[in-house]
């Protein structure tokens, strides 16, 4: 049993630590610990204060929402406090929340609305007579920072409301979350990594840092978005329920997250939480939980609030995306372009059910910026399918035995000198014949995105390179069945299969060929753009910088990468060798002649394993008929093609009412539509799993 004196000492210690982390998180956007560790500290404080209510003070972090506004912006007072939410970490906590709610509102059953909890920055937008007059951060819940100029650059935020029924509310204070989509963060970080700039640790840091820029033109360059979900003061707008609010705001031009559910009782809300947790990796944004709110505003008023949070809402948190472990060593890998990449060797730690034992460190500058040392206790995060990364070192846990890291001056594979140009962040092995570079290039060449050669994997590549049989990609096509069969654990039948697969791979498309070459800065998307613009391989090779920059979405870095690649004698010899070996990249013009527009305007998502074709082949067939293929399900998706053992995309489609089709039906339609050559429009036909053609017939009926 903790005595009052012991509790007082621990409470004061916790308060000091929590206050420090609040300032780091809310003011400087530089958190030192993961959310899970902060939550643990806060829950311990709440438990101690509940056991010793005489020790609760008005200035305790438990009585406040966040931290004081930064001195860099003018402070503004919220008309209605922007409260924080209490957290729930298990089903029992949600059931207890429901029991408290039903007791407060004196009802046997309560209607809730469940919404994804985005990991962004909370803001308030104030409209007077339809015009945006102020935008502020949440701050400490009472006072926030005036970031109006920065919020005006967020394209999703209307500067003037759309009139509903000829009028707009005379006053509307609407709350929302500014966030960044995961793909946008990755793209921005890739560019910053190339330029040697500091990377953003996560979407929330990017959103918060962007809104606190003193120069709004910087904010305008960031991919910020917003979803709104709550109200402050209003005049001229009558809203009685949360679902009515989420329906009404879009009519005013204010974006909301359409992925929400009206729940009849806490059981349905818990089921929504479980579904969203399963589809978490498929969401285009970071969601760290589900917010469950009383549907009725009048019942919310009856339930009331405590000093820092409403009694009518709770945040059901997902399992932590971050963990704490030890950085045991830093290994160095050599890529296909010679880039040396440091990789953290970690004590295994489980994050979101996945054991993490290594994490990318990008380059030496990133290690220096984060002040990482071998032996450090570090915070590791994993978001979706992104490679795990180290967020920060826990400097206060250092013992003095930690060691600083330095990049090797010689390649760890071939021993050749390494170089780093002043304008580049990467250090590279200069030896083009380095076995590590050759192996990575060959793996890229035969990968699914490249020539898609079945049967050739890392172990086989290691053998043929180490045995001196292969030094570049065209050598693969010259090996005999006997030479393949002579490799370890290879028989004649397997060797023949590889030779057959290589023969099949010789006939390929121009975009796949360009991607397989491994041209710096040229990915699958850029390869398709180049193939479409120049039609023939000779056209790409002969293109000058101006011609390359004239291609949409081809920037200076990509153009320079292409020019440098084809300007190299060794690379031109590789291309000539591939053509001489019989590799035939079909030109885009031939492909375009056979292109159908039967699926134009439709977006498909593929999930599960298809038996008659790979998912890449299915995607290509859709594109050949004018359709688009997306990686995740949204309300813009027209159809989800479901194979064997589908993932959560199928469940999400069902939840959103998006039609799903099996492989057999998908194949029939491809065959029928491909021969018909007609076009369809993406308009649903009632509740049928179909869309109507311009001629009145139905696709997928």
Backbone CA torsion sign across 523, 526, 528, 530: negative
Domain encompassing residue 150: 77-317
Helix (H, G, I), strand (E, B), or coil: what is residue 697? coil
Within this chain, do residues 57 and 82 fall inside the same structural domain, yes or no?
no
Domain CATH code at residue 648: 3.40.50.10190
Helix (H, G, I), strand (E, B), or coil: what is residue 16? helix
Q: Is residue 83 a contact partner of residue 250, using CB atoms and an 8 Å limit? A: no
Backbone CA torsion sign across 162, 166, 169, 170: positive
- 313 lies in a domain? yes
- 429 lies in a domain? no
Furthest C-alpha separation in the chain? 86
Q: Is residue 516 a contact partner of residue 476, using CB atoms and an 8 Å limit? A: no
- 218 lies in a domain? yes
Burial of 59: CB neighbours in 10 Å, binned 0-12, 13-18, 19+: exposed
Q: CA-CA distance, 653 to 662, in Å (whole number)?
A: 13
Domain CATH code at residue 518: 1.10.150.20
- 414 lies in a domain? no
Q: What's the pLDDT at 164?
A: 65
- 413 lies in a domain? no
Long-range CB pairs of 260-263 (<8 Å, 24+ gap) are: 260/113, 260/114, 260/115, 260/116, 261/113, 261/114, 262/111, 262/112, 262/113, 262/295, 263/111, 263/112, 263/113, 263/114, 263/292
Within this chain, do residues 587 and 603 fall inside the same structural domain, yes or no?
no
Within this chain, do residues 537 and 614 fall inside the same structural domain, yes or no?
no
The stretches of 451-491 forming alpha helices (DSSP H) are 458-466, 481-485
Within this chain, do residues 579 and 599 fall inside the same structural domain, yes or no?
no
- 410 lies in a domain? no
Q: Is residue 319 a contact partner of residue 350, using CB atoms and an 8 Å limit? A: no
Phi then psi dihedrals of residue 93, to 5 deg: -65, -35
- 138 lies in a domain? yes
Closest CA to 172 of 215, 228, 232: 232
Closest CA to 38 of 13, 58, 57, 19: 19
Q: Is residue 111 a contact partner of residue 266, using CB atoms and an 8 Å limit? A: no
The catalytic site residues sit at 117
Within this chain, do residues 549 and 645 fall inside the same structural domain, yes or no?
no
Within this chain, do residues 309 and 340 fall inside the same structural domain, yes or no?
no
Distance of CA 436 to the CA centre of its chain: 30
Within this chain, do residues 222 and 244 fall inside the same structural domain, yes or no?
yes
Domain CATH code at residue 203: 3.30.470.30
Q: Is residue 205 a contact partner of residue 29, using CB atoms and an 8 Å limit? A: yes
Q: Count of domains in the chain?
A: 5
Domain boundary among 268, 302, 317: 317
Closest CA to 206 of 183, 175, 172: 183
Q: What's the pLDDT at 305?
A: 87
Q: CA-CA distance, 528 to 83, in Å (whole number)?
A: 49
Owner of token pair 């017939």: 697
Q: What's the pLDDT at 560?
A: 87
State the Rg of the chain over Cα: 29
Domain CATH code at residue 382: 2.40.50.140
Q: Is residue 157 a contact partner of residue 125, using CB atoms and an 8 Å limit? A: yes
- Which residue(s) pair with 607 in the sheet? 642
- Which residue(s) pair with 393 in the sheet? 378
DSSP secondary structure letters along 255-292: ---S--EEEESHHHHHHHHHHHHHTGGGSSS-EEEEEE
pTM greater than 0.75: no
The stretches of 478-605 forming alpha helices (DSSP H) are 481-485, 492-505, 510-516, 524-534, 537-542, 545-549, 556-566, 569-580, 588-593
Helix (H, G, I), strand (E, B), or coil: what is residue 113? strand
Phi then psi dihedrals of residue 697, to 5 deg: -80, 170
Return the structure tokens found at 413: 């594979």
Q: CA-CA distance, 672 to 674, in Å (whole number)?
A: 6
Domain CATH code at residue 13: 1.10.287.610
Residues whose CB is less than 8 angstroms from the CB of residue 135 and which lie 6 or more positions away in sequence, other chains included: 123, 124, 125, 126, 146, 147, 148, 150, 151, 152, 157
Q: Is residue 522 a contact partner of residue 559, using CB atoms and an 8 Å limit? A: no
Within this chain, do residues 298 and 341 fall inside the same structural domain, yes or no?
no
Q: For the chain, count helices (H), then strands (E).
A: 25, 27
Phi then psi dihedrals of residue 229, to 5 deg: -155, 0
Q: What's the pLDDT at 610?
A: 84
Phi then psi dihedrals of residue 54, to 5 deg: -70, -15
Q: CA-CA distance, 379 to 349, in Å (whole number)?
A: 10
Q: Is residue 331 a contact partner of residue 342, using CB atoms and an 8 Å limit? A: yes
Closest CA to 320 of 281, 279, 353: 353
- 578 lies in a domain? yes
- Low-confidence stretches of the chain (pLDDT < 50) are 26-28, 65-70, 384-385, 589-594, 676-698, 700-701
Return the structure tokens found at 170: 């005379």
CB atoms within 10 A of CB 407: 15
Domain boundary among 258, 282, 317: 317
Give me the half-sphere count of Cα atoms (radius 13 Å) on the Cβ side of residue 465.
21
Q: What's the pLDDT at 23?
A: 56
Q: CA-CA distance, 543 to 562, in Å (whole number)?
A: 9
Return the structure tokens found at 505: 């791979």
Within this chain, do residues 308 and 452 fall inside the same structural domain, yes or no?
no
Domain boundary among 258, 287, 317: 317
Phi then psi dihedrals of residue 653, to 5 deg: -60, -45
- Which residue(s) pair with 669 in the sheet? none
Return the structure tokens found at 484: 């393949």
Within this chain, do residues 105 and 84 fall inside the same structural domain, yes or no?
yes
DSSP secondary structure letters along 277-342: HHTGGGSSS-EEEEEEEESBHHHHHHH-B-SSSBTTEEEEEPSPSEEEEEEEEEEEEE-TT-EEEE
Q: Is residue 508 a contact partner of residue 620, using CB atoms and an 8 Å limit? A: no
Within this chain, do residues 307 and 165 fall inside the same structural domain, yes or no?
yes
Closest CA to 541 of 560, 523, 566: 566
CB atoms within 10 A of CB 75: 16
Within this chain, do residues 384 and 238 fall inside the same structural domain, yes or no?
no
């Amino acid at each position: 049993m903790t005595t009052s004196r012991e509790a007082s000492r621990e409470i004061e210690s916790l308060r000091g630590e929590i206050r420090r982390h609040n300032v780091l998180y809310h003011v400087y956007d530089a958190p030192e610990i993961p959310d899970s560790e902060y939550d643990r500290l806060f829950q311990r404080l709440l438990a101690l204060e509940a056991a010793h209510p005489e020790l609760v003070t008005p200035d305790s972090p438990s009585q406040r929402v966040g931290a004081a506004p930064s001195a860099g912006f003018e402070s503004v007072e919220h008309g209605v406090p922007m409260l924080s939410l209490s957290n729930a970490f298990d089903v029992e906590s949600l059931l207890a929340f429901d029991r408290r709610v039903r007791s407060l509102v004196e009802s046997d059953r309560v209607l809730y609305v469940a919404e994804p909890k985005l990991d962004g920055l909370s803001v308030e937008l104030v409209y007077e007579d339809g015009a945006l007059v102020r935008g502020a951060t949440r701050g400490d819940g009472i006072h926030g920072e005036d970031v109006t100029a920065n919020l005006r650059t967020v394209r999703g935020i209307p500067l003037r409301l759309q009139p509903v029924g000829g009028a707009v509310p005379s006053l509307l204070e609407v709350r929302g979350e500014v966030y960044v989509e995961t793909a946008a963060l990755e793209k921005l970080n890739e560019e910053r990594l190339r330029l040697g700039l500091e990377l953003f640790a996560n979407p929330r840091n990017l959103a918060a840092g962007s809104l606190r820029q003193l120069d709004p033109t910087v904010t305008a360059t960031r991919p910020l978005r917003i979803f709104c979900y709550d109200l402050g003061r209003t005049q001229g707008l009558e809203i009685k329920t949360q679902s009515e609010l989420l329906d009404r705001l879009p009519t005013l031009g204010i974006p909301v997250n359409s992925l929400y559910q009206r729940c009849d009782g806490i059981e349905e809300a818990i089921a929504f939480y479980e579904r969203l947790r399963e589809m978490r990796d498929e969401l285009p944004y970071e969601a760290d939980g589900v917010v469950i709110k009383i549907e009725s505003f009048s019942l919310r008023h009856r339930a009331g609030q405590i000093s820092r949070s409403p009694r009518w809402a709770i945040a059901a948190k997902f399992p932590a995306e971050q963990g704490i472990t030890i950085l045991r060593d830093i290994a160095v890998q050599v890529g296909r372009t010679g880039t040396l990449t440091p990789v953290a060797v970690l004590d295994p730690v489980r994050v979101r059910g996945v054991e993490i034992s290594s994490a990318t460190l990008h380059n030496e500058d990133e290690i220096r910026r984060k002040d990482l040392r071998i032996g450090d206790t570090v915070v590791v995060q994993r978001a979706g399918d992104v490679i795990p990364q180290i967020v920060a070192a826990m400097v206060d846990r250092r013992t003095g035995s930690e060691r600083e890291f330095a990049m090797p001056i010689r390649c760890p594979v071939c021993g050749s000198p390494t170089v780093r140009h002043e304008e580049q962040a990467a250090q590279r092995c200069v030896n083009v014949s380095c076995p590590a570079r050759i192996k990575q290039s060959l793996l890229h060449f035969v990968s699914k995105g490249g020539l898609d050669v079945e049967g050739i994997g890392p172990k086989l590549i290691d053998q043929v390179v180490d045995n001196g049989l292969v030094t570049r990609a065209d050598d693969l096509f010259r090996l005999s069945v006997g030479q393949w069969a002579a490799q370890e654990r290879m028989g004649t039948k397997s060797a023949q299969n590889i030779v057959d697969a290589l023969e099949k791979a010789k006939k390929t498309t121009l975009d796949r060929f360009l991607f397989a070459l491994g041209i710096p800065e040229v990915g699958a998307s850029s390869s398709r753009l180049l193939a479409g613009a120049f039609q023939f391989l000779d056209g790409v090779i002969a293109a000058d910088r101006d011609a390359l920059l004239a291609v949409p979405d081809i920037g200076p870095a990509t153009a320079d990468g292409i020019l440098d690649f084809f300007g190299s004698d060794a690379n031109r010899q590789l291309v000539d060798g591939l053509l001489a070996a019989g590799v035939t990249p079909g030109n885009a013009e031939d492909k375009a002649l056979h292109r159908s527009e039967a699926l134009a305007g439709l977006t498909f998502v593929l999930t599960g394993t298809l038996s008659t074709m790979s998912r890449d082949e299915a995607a290509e067939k859709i594109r050949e008929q004018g359709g688009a293929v997306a990686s995740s399900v949204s309300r813009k998706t027209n159809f989800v093609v479901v194979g064997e053992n589908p993932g959560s995309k199928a469940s999400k489609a069902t939840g959103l009412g998006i039609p799903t089709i099996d492989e057999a039906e998908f194949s029939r339609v491809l065959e029928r539509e491909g021969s018909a050559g007609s076009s369809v429009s993406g308009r649903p036909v009632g509740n049928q799993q179909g869309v109507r053609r311009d001629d009145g017939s139905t696709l997928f009926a």
